[in-house]
Amino acid sequence: MNYCCIADDVKLGENVKLAKFINLYGCTIGDNTKIGTFVEVQKNASIGRNCKIQSHTFICEGVIIEDDVFVGHGVTFVNDKYPRSTNGNGCLQSEADWKVAPSIVKKGASIGSGATILCNVTIGESAIIGSGSVVTKDVPPFTIVAGNPASILRRINAE
């Protein structure tokens, strides 16, 4: 029995490692990336090469994760600035009723377990997001942030 749901439109690179109980559709995953158990990656999301996505993580439409990124357990990305169940007519919203608000995680960044990444943010190259943080604005490259909302703790060496 196969415990993975991988749609035909998923683009998988070479040597991708997939755990059981995952849901992938309409996304791209680069070479040598590892996807953990209970991960969902939605359409129009992209994960680069040599990434590690830990269990229970949700990567929604519009999220771009570049190469060499670590995403800890239970990380949630958000792609809607003002989420609503219904539109102005009282009907359930459809794709026509809202616009994806993307986010990008730059090369070599690390996101700690339990973090929430709100929409329209860029996490800079090699930045580190502390566990449980809520990222509400851009994170500069080579910076450690933590808290709710996440704030800069210190810069780190580019080396």
pLDDT along the chain (159 residues), means of 10: 80 96 96 97 98 98 98 97 89 89 97 98 98 98 98 88
Q: What is the pLDDT of residue 159?
A: 64
Structure confidence at residue 11 (pLDDT): 97
pLDDT of res. 1? 47
CB-CB contact of 72 with 90 (8 Å) = no
The residue type of 92 is: L
132 touches 104 (CB < 8 A): no
